[in-house]
Structure 1
Amino acid sequence: MRTDTIFFQLFQTFDSLLFELVGLPPETAAGYRFTSVEIKEKAFRFDGIFIPDSVDKNIWFVEVQFQKRTEFYWEFVGEIFLYLSQYKPEHDWQAVAILAKRNIEPEIPKQFRELLASERIVRIYLDELPENQSLHIELVRLIVAPKRETVALAQRLAGQVGQVDRERMIEFIETVLLYKFPQMSREEVEAMFTLSDLKKTRVYRDAKLEGIREGKLEGKLEGKLEGKLEGEKIGTQRGQVLGRQQALKQVAVRLLTRKFGKVTLKMVKRLDKLSAEQLEELAEAVLDFEKVADLEAWLTSKK
C-alpha cells in the first residue's frame, strides 16, 4: 500500500486533520466534503480536495509528496488551474503541499513564488511536526516516524485515545502498523493494545473470525489439548497470514465503499479470493477507478 493511499484513507476518516495541519481550528472542517477529482484533459488526479458546502469558504487542494520530483510544483499548480478552468467554482481556493521532509522539496519555480510567499499554497514538512499535538496529527507522525520509534509512538497513541473515536483510531493505528511492518505477526500487533481495545475493532473481529479463530487460536487449542506443539505452530502461522489478509480486505472494502457508496455481498466474496499482495494492489488502484466497471475489469484481470 502506497503512502498516498494511507493519507487518502486518513483524510477520509478524520476530516479535521488537514485544517489542524495548517494551524486552523478543527471545527473549520464543518461543511467540507473530502474527495478525489481527476482532471480529464490531462488525466491528472489530486491526492485530495476538500470541497465546502458554501461559497464563503475556500476549496482546499491537497498533494502528498514522499520523493523528490523536480516537476512537483509545475504539476501541482498546473492541476489546480486546470481544475479551476474546467469546473469554474465560485469559491476562492488554497492548497497544501504535504512533504515528507524539507530536503525533498524541489526548487520553487520563480513563476510560482508569490503563490507560496502569500500562503495561497501552504507547505507542511511532516518530519518537522512538533510532538504532543492533537491525536490526528500524532497519527500522521506515526506514518512518517522512523521504524525504531513507531511501536512506542503507537502504544502512546493507543493510551491517549478517548472512548468516542477509540474504534476508528485503534483500527487506523493497526492499519499503519501493517503498512509499515508487513511481516509483523498478529501477536506483535495485539501486544500493543489491550484485549478489550482489539475486541472493539472490526478488523480484529473479522480477523479473529476468519483468520485467528481458524488458525492461531484453533492451533493453540488443539496443540494444548492434544499435546501437539506442532499444531500450535502451524495454527499460529496460518492465523497470522489469514489475519493480515483479512485486515487488508477490510481496508479495501472501506476504500471501495467511500468511492462507490456501496459494496455488494457478491463483490465482497470476490475480494475473499484475492491474496494479500493483490489486496494491497487493489488499495492503490482504487484511486484511479471512475466507475464500478473499472473495478470489475481489475478483478477479472486477477483471475
Structure 2
Amino acid sequence: MDKVIRWGILGTGQIARALAFALQEVAGAKLVAVASRGSAGADKFGREFGVGRCHASYQALADDPDVDVIYIATPHAMHAENTLMCLNGGKHVLCEKAFAMNRREAAEMVDLARHKQLFLMEAMWSRFLPAIGEVRRIIDSGEIGKVAQIQSDFGFTAPEVGPLHRLLNPALGGGALLDIGIYPLSLSAFFLGPVAAVQAVAEMGPTGVDLQTAFSLLHRDGGVSSCVCSIRAQSPSDMTIAGPLGHIRIHNRFFQAQTLSVETLDGNARTVEFPHIGSGYAYEVVEVMRCLRAGLIESPLMPHAETLALMGVLDTIRAQIGLAYGADQVRP
C-alpha cells in the first residue's frame, strides 16, 4: 500500500470543512493537523474532524514536522503570504483559488516552490471531476468538431452579507471576479487553450469591488468564450461548448459537473450522468497525492504556467473594469 500522506489545513472556514470531508473520502489521505488564528477555532475544528494537532497560529502548522502537504483555505488576500510561509517550512501546498491577488504574487509563489522543489497547485477542483474529463475526451475525439465557442455563467446572490464580508471587502479580495469568475475563465482555457485577448465590463458596488462582470476571450489557437460571473443574480450556471458538428452542455452548476448532454448535427443526442464522490473535492486530493507519489512539483492538469497565465488575464480584466486591490501596490 502506498504511504499515507499527512495533510494539514490552514484555515477553518467553510471551504476548509469541505476539504476535510474530502480527505475522509480518499484512501491514503490523513488529516493530522489544522491551524487557525487562535486556539478556539482550531480546537473546534479539530474536535469535529478528529484532528490530533490543533495549532493556534499558521506558522506553527507550517513548522509542523509531521505534515506533508498543507491546504490553504484562507481568503484570497492571504494566499500568497500563507503559501510562502508553508513552502519555507518545507511543505507541499494546495492553494485555494483564486490562487493569489495578482500575477506578481502568483509568480513569487511558483518561483519559491520551484526553487525548493516542492509541489504547488491551484485548487481548481472542477478540472479533476469525472464529467470534465469526459468533456475533454469528447472534444479530443472530434465528435463535435474543433471547438469554436464556449458560453458560461456563474451567478448567486448573497443579500445578507455586509461590507466587511469577504465577498464585498476589497481588503480580502472581494468581488465576483476573483471569487467565482475564475471558474468560467479556467475551464474555458482548459477546453479552448491559452487566452490571447480579453474584453470586460462590470457593475461595480459601493465598496469598490465588482458585483458582476462579463468578459469575452479570444483564444490563441482559435475560438472565443463568453463568460459572466455575478454575486447579485441567481443564474443557471450552465456551460455550452460548441463546434461545427454539435455541442456539449454541462447542466446546472457546471463547476460541479455531474450531468452533460451531447447533440450532434446528425441527430444523435444523449445525456450522461457522472455522480461524484461527496462534494467533488476528493478528486483534486487524489491528483495532489498522485503527483506527490510520482515526485512531481506540479500537476499536468493544472500546471504552474497556466495558473500564472490565468492570473495575468484576471489582472487585465481588473484593469479594464477599474478593480484595484492594496496588493497591487509594489512593495519596496
What is the TM-score of this pair, normalised by structure 2?
A: 0.27
Structure with greater strand share of residues? 2
Structure with greater helix share of residues? 1
Structure label with greater radius of gyration: 1
